Structures are given as C-alpha cells and as structure tokens.
Amino acid sequence: MAQSLKRSLALWWCVIMFCLGGLLLIEAWASAKRSADQALDGQLEAASLAIAEAIQWPDGKPMLEMPASALQILATRWQERVFYQLIGAQGESITSNVQLPITSRMRTQIKKAPVFANIKLQGSSLRLHGREVSSAGWETQEPVEVWVAHTTEGREALAQTLVGGTLTRIAMTMLITGLILVFVMRAWLMPIRRLRQVLRGRKLDDYSALHVDVPSELRELTDTLDHLLERQDQHREALLRFIADASHQLRTPLAGLQNTSELALGSADPERWRQALETICQASGRTSRLAAQLLNLARLRHQVSQADLESINLSALVRESLMEWADRQQARGHDLGAELPETDIWLKGEAWSLHELIGNLIDNALRYTPEGTFITAGISRTADGITLWVEDNGPCTETDPQRWIAPFERAGLQGTEGSGLGLAIVASIAERHGAELRLSTCEPQGLRVCVQFPQGGADDQA
Amino acid sequence: MIRREPLAGQHSHCRSALARCVRRALLPLLLAVFGGAAHSETLIIEGALDRDVFEPVLALFQRNNPDITLDYRDRSTLMADTFARTAKSAPDVVISSAMPWQMALSNEGFAQRVDTEETRQWPAWAKWREELFGFTFEPIVMAYRLDLAAAMKPPSTHQDLLDLLLNHREELQGKVVTYSPLNSGIGDMLSQQDARYTPKMWDLVAAMGQVGVHESARSKEMLEGLSSGKYWLAYNILGSYAMVWAQNHPEVVVQVPNDYSLVMMRTAFVHREAEHPQAAYRFVGFLLSQEGQSVMAGETPLFSVRPDVVGPYTAQRLRDEVGDHLYPIPLNASLLAFVDPLRRAAFLKRWQETITPEP
C-alpha cells in the first residue's frame, strides 16, 4: 500500500504527542503530588507548632490543654481523620487519641530535625509529622515529642485537581498543535497538488518544460521530470524521423516495382516481360531485405538481458561468415580474407546479433567498394579487450566516416543499392554488447571498421 | 374447553407439566428470593435520645418501613459511646448528643460513609466527612421553678445567674442542678464549651459549688426535680426537653440565655460494622429527609435543621425568636480536643477543685 505523507506525518505526530503527553502526565502527577504534600505538610507543621505552644510544665510534669484550633488545622478543609500523640522523654505517652506506629528510627531522627513520613494505620494511609519540643520548666527540662498525623484524602483530592488543570493544558496544547499541523501540512502539500494538477492537465504531445512554482526540495523532482520529458521528446523525434525515412526507403523500391510492372504490362513482348520479372524479383528481394533489416533494428532497440548471453567462439563465427559470403554472387570480384589469432577467441554475447554484425560489415564492404578490392576480417587482442575489425583498401574520400553510423547514410553514394541501415544496425548490436564502434580511414586508402569489446566481455574459459 | 380439540389437549398436557414444574421448584425459589427481602429486618439503634421524645419519628419510620423491625436502645451518652466501641455485635446506627464522642468515633473509623440523596443535600456545617450527620438544632437553656421567680428576680443571662448565686446563697442552697461533666458526655461538652468562651465560667462553677450544686446525668431527672420542688434552678439543660416539659408543667419556666445560648446537634452515624447497613442508610436518610425533619419540627422539640421545614420547632424559628446570640457548637475536628484524655482530666480536676466549696 502506498504511503501517505499526511497519514505518516499524523501518525508520527500522534506517537510523539503520546510519548510526550505521557511523560508530561507523569511529571505533572509527580509535581502535583509534591505540591499537595508541600501545602498540606505545612498544615501538619502548623498543628504541631500550635500543640507545642500549648505545652506547659506546671508541676514538673508536662501538661497540655489540647488546642482545638490545632486539631481543626490538622483536619484541613478536606475533613481528614486526625491523630496525635505526645511522647515524653522516657517514651511514655503523655496524651493521644490513638497509638501511632512510631518506629525507634523516627524517634532518633526527631532529635535532629522534624520528621515527615507516610504510614499505615488501621488500613488507611496517613501522613505523619513529628517535632521535638524542649521547653524550660522550673523543675525539669525534658523534651516532649509531638506527633501529628492525618489521612491523605485531601492530598489526593488536591493532587487530582492540580493534575486535572495540567491535563487540560496539555490537551489544549495538543489540540492547538494538531490544528496547526493540519494547516501546515496543507500548505506544505500545496505545491505537490499544483504539480499534480499541471501534470494531469497536460496534453499528450506536450513535451515542453513544466512551469510550476515549487519549493527547492521539489525542484529536483521537476527538473528530473523536465529532463525525462526532453529525452522522450528527442526519442520520439528520432522515432518519427526513422519511420519517415523507413517509409521513404520502402516507397522507392515499391514505386520502381510498380513502374517496371506497368511498363511490362504495356508491352506484348514476352522478352520484355521476362526482363521486367527479373527486375521485379531483384527489387522485391532488396525490399524484403530492407524490411528485414528494419525489423532487426526495431528488435535491437530492446535491451538485451544478461540471461540471453552465451559463450561464443568469435574466431569460428568470423570464419563461418567469411565462408558464407565468399560463396555469394556479390563477392565474386572481391578478395575476402581473414586475420585471426592462433588460439580461438571466446566472447560472451548474443550469437544471432553478432552474426548479423559481421555479415553487415562484410556486406557494406562489398557494396561500397569496386571489384578487385581486398576485404579482410580479423580479431586482435588489445590491452583494452578484444577488437573485431573489417577493413578494405577501396577508395574512400570521407574524412569523418563516423557519421555514417546514423541510419540511411550511404557514404555519399546514395545511388548505390542498399538500405542505408547496415551501420546503424551494427552500431545497435555493438551497443548491446557494451562495445564501441569506430570507423577510420586506412593508409594509403580504404576504410577500417573496429568493434572494440570491453575486457569483461571476453570469455577465456575455452 | 381444551378437550374439544385433540391437538390442544396435547398442548395442555405440556402446559400443566410446566405449571407443576413452576409450582414445585420455581415458586419456593421465588418466595425465598423476594419473601426474604420482604421479611422483616432488624435495625439496631443505640440512641442517647429519650425514646418518648423521639417516638413520633420512630413511629413514622416504622410506618413507612413495615419490613424493618426497630430495636431502639435508649442509653446515656457515655453508654452509647461504649456500646459503639466495644459491643460484640455492633449497632447499626448510633445517635448521641455528645458531639465530641461521636466525632471521636467517626475519627477513629467507627463510622461509614453514607451516600444518599438526603446526605448529599445536607448542609456542610451540619455534617462531617459524610459520616456524621447533625440532625437537630437544640438550644441549651436555663430552667427555673416559679418559686424562684417569687423569691428573686429570675436570671436571663449568665451574669444574672452568677449574681443570683452569689446574692442568694442561703435560699438556693441545694436547689441548683446542672449537667455533670463527669458522668455525662453532653455535660462535659457544654461546660468545656462554656469555659472556652469565658474564664468567668469558673466563677460560676465556684458559685454553684457554694450553693451545693447537684450534678445530674439526665435532663429528665433535672426536670422532674424542678417539678417536684427538689430543684429551683437548672443550668445548661437541653432546651428541647425543657420546652416540652414546660408545656405540661406550668411551674417550670424555660429561659434561653439572652447573652449567649449554646446550641448542640444530635448526631447520627452508621456503624462501620453495621449488620443491616441498608436499613441503616434508610434510617439516616429518613432522619435528614423533609418528612423526618417535619415530624421533628412538629411533633418533637428536636428543632429541625432544614430551612424548608415548617413547624413550631425549627432552627429558623428559634433564630427568629431568640435573635442572633445562638452559638451552635461547630461539628468539626475541634470537638476532638474535648475528649483528649489529658485535657479532659485537667478540666475535670479543675471542675472538681472549683466546685468543692472551700472550708
């Protein structure tokens, strides 16, 4: 399923907010509890102070008129249950309303500083506070421990109120950032939407560059799109030119056929008919060869896959092709020869297309050179890899033979019979093998066509 | 009628089988479930509140809840406290006028929260922790015999009373009675509260000691003494009892002190270990309801707290008559100071020392 930017952004936002919100909540809860404890510990302190204030030593014994206000302070406005115990120097309880679970550790601590602790009594949790009071008496000066405690309902209620407030604030913040995110997301995605609209509204044959106002991050994308469009435009142009050329090439021999047949039909001489039929036969042969080559070229435009490559004995292939051509009518006036290394050269390649490549090169050499020309095909190992070459010593006036590679170029010899596709096909095949096609002139005269295969293409296994 | 059609006959067979089934198995079960609930439930109330005063309220509750059998145990305040703390089977509801003791019971966890419509609506100043509910508003008064009015100017303030005791020591010898702080929770609360307001209270105690004051634990005993001529003057007596008594005993006059008059509340709570909590909630809810409070305002002298109740005995009416010198004893944690053992011991010691006439 396609990823939605909006959805993943929203998801991430939710995850972040969830984690952040969770952390904030934990923090809020802890700090609320702290605040509540601080606030109510103050009341514990006040109550213990009020009780301490009321202690007197009338007859050498601590005496206390329990201040009602101290208990009221201790109860807080949450109406806590309140407990207190006063302990004398010998550990005796002076007065209390309950036996508080005071540990000996607390009693040591209280000597240094007032004590706060959370305790359990009769199944309810209490907050305990104790302080030691030493007051001067005429007869004795014994310290008295004042312990006060109350239930924790008020703390919980207060903490809950505080957390509630924080929770509301967190929720509001999240809501606001969420809304902002939605708007920002819309604004961000606006250029993409614009681009989509532009692309959607485009005509099929419009290859001009896109003119969309996009942010710099998207500029790369539109540039790539523009580049692709340009290349497609070029490709289409080439295809159209090729089709136009091809149809032109096919029309000429077809028109010749029509002429010849019409002339022959106009005559009653069977000899003329025979001549015409021979001409037609030759011309249709050429035409079907042309069609075959066009088909090849179209086939070659597809990329070859590595699986189609096989190990090929290139030396054998060259020898075979030369033998094939030597037997033909066209080669009767020419001298075909081979220059092969002593060991066979193996190559990873596509057998049918390499066969076609060699054939085309020999065919070209035969076609564009006068009788008596030497045509040599050969293979040589070089530092860069393997070079397959075909060379002749025929006349050549072209200084830049490289341009003949384009389809329908015929070495300035437009009258010569031939499709003009030969070198184009060779170039395509070379490209399929990752090889480089080079045309150069020879000294004193002649043309040399080299197909330079890369090192990796060589197959030395045999 | 069923026999007319054979098919229906079969049908009826099935039906009667089902009916038998219901009769045999389901009916006893249903009876057990619903009959059990309808069966009478006992509600045990420990009440420091005279039954004959409280009877109209109990009777109405009984009428409204015929399924509940009331077991009302009339106690003194200290007895009620002891029973609430130590009784083997805890009472369901504890009612007492000794507010500090009730507060201490609640504070020590003997009460449980009651959450009914009435308790939620109850004014905050008359309840504590949703456990303890003050449901009456009773002024503390002086009462005297007409004989006293014939012999001297009857007192209308605390100062008048002090002067009277000082000036008529011989005539009043043995004729004055007050609540005992030693034997009665309410007496203790009233005298401690008095002592909180003014140290002159101790002059009054000393003066009462000089006339050989009687210390009583029950309002009724004081009122009977007034009627019989045993006592001429009763100080700190429950206004609710005294007012009803005075209606039938013309020789007794009730005086709400004109300087300040304490007001106490009877409080009720549902015991933590109540065996019949549902009945207890119903009873407490009833005490606070308009119906229950109306009975208190109309048929008992237990002044109703609710402002929406009309009758001769309501807090509102009392305020209108007496003015703004009513000082209700607040129902809050400060009451716990009264029951602090050390404070109480010191108070009683001082009381004893003060009230014993110097030789």
pLDDT at residue number B9: 38
What ipTM does this complex have?
0.82
Query: Which residues in chain A have Cβ-Cβ distances shorter than 8 Å to B109?
Result: 81, 122, 124
Containing A63, the helix (H) or strand (E) segment is strand A63-64
What is the CATH classification number for the domain harbouring B91?
3.40.190.10
Does B19 fall in a domain? Answer: no
Concatenated DSSP letters for B256-279?
A: --SS-EEEE--EEEEETT-S-HHH
pLDDT in tens, B144-153: 999 899 989 9
> Chain A within 8 Å of B196 (Cβ-Cβ)?
yes
Do B252 and B167 share a structural domain?
A: yes
> Chain A within 8 Å of B153 (Cβ-Cβ)?
no
pLDDT in tens, chain A (462 residues): 467 777 888 888 889 888 988 898 899 999 999 999 999 999 999 999 999 989 888 777 788 889 999 999 999 999 999 999 999 888 888 999 999 999 999 999 999 999 999 999 888 899 999 999 887 766 667 889 999 999 999 999 999 999 999 889 888 988 998 899 889 888 888 888 888 888 888 888 888 888 878 888 888 888 998 899 888 888 888 788 778 777 877 887 788 888 888 888 888 888 888 888 888 888 888 788 778 777 777 776 665 566 667 888 889 999 988 888 888 877 888 888 888 888 888 888 888 788 888 888 888 888 888 888 899 999 988 887 889 999 888 887 666 777 777 666 655 554 455 556 778 778 888 887 888 888 888 877 888 889 988 876 555 543
CB-closest option in A64, A79, A97 to B336: A97
Does B301 fall in a domain? Answer: yes
Range of the domain at B97: 41-137+265-328
Question: SS3 of B236, please?
Answer: strand
Amino acid present at B23: R
State how far residue B128 is from chain A, nearest Cα, in angstroms.
Answer: 7
Do B151 and B75 share a structural domain?
A: no
Query: Which residues in chain B have Cβ-Cβ distances shorter than 8 Å to A86?
Result: 342
Do B157 and B131 share a structural domain?
A: no
> Chain A within 8 Å of B198 (Cβ-Cβ)?
no
Do B216 and B107 share a structural domain?
A: no
Q: Please state whether B323 falls in left (phi above 0), alpha (psi between -120 and 50) or beta.
A: left
- CB atoms B340 and A66 under 8 Å: yes
Rounded to the nearest 10 degrees, what angle do helices B185-197 and B77-86 cross at? 110
With an 8 Å Cβ cutoff, the interface of chain A facing chain B consists of: 63-72, 74-75, 79, 81-83, 86, 94-98, 122, 124
Of residues B18 and A77, which shows the higher confidence score? A77
Do B174 and B160 share a structural domain?
A: yes
CB-closest option in B129, B196, B336 to A79: B129
CA dihedral of residues B264, B268, B273, B276 (deg, nearest 10): 160
A375 exposure class (CB count in 10 Å sphere: 0-12, 13-18, 19+): buried
Does B45 fall in a domain? Answer: yes
Does B1 fall in a domain? Answer: no
Average pLDDT rounded to a whole number, residues B267-282: 94
Do B208 and B157 share a structural domain?
A: yes
pLDDT in tens, B297-350: 988 888 898 888 888 888 888 888 888 888 999 999 999 999 999 999 999 999
Does B160 fall in a domain? Answer: yes
Does B87 fall in a domain? Answer: yes
Does B54 fall in a domain? Answer: yes
State how far residue A101 is from chain B, nearest Cα, in angstroms.
Answer: 15
CB-closest option in B108, B129, B337 to A71: B337
Q: Copy the structure tokens of residue B184.
A: 């009665």
pLDDT at residue number A381: 85
Domains annotated on chain A, with CATH: 5-160 (3.30.450), 216-300 (1.10.287.130), 307-457 (3.30.565.10)
Best of B125, B336, B338 to disrupt the A interface by mutation (most A CBs within 10 Å)?
B336
Does B5 fall in a domain? Answer: no
Do B238 and B279 share a structural domain?
A: no
Lowest mean pLDDT among A379-383, B139-143, B222-226, B355-359: B355-359
Overall domain count for chain B:
2
How big is the A-B interface in CB pairs under 8 Å?
61
pLDDT at residue number B244: 85
pLDDT at residue number A383: 80
Q: Copy the structure tokens of residue A334.
A: 């020419």
CB-closest option in A66, A74, A79 to B343: A66
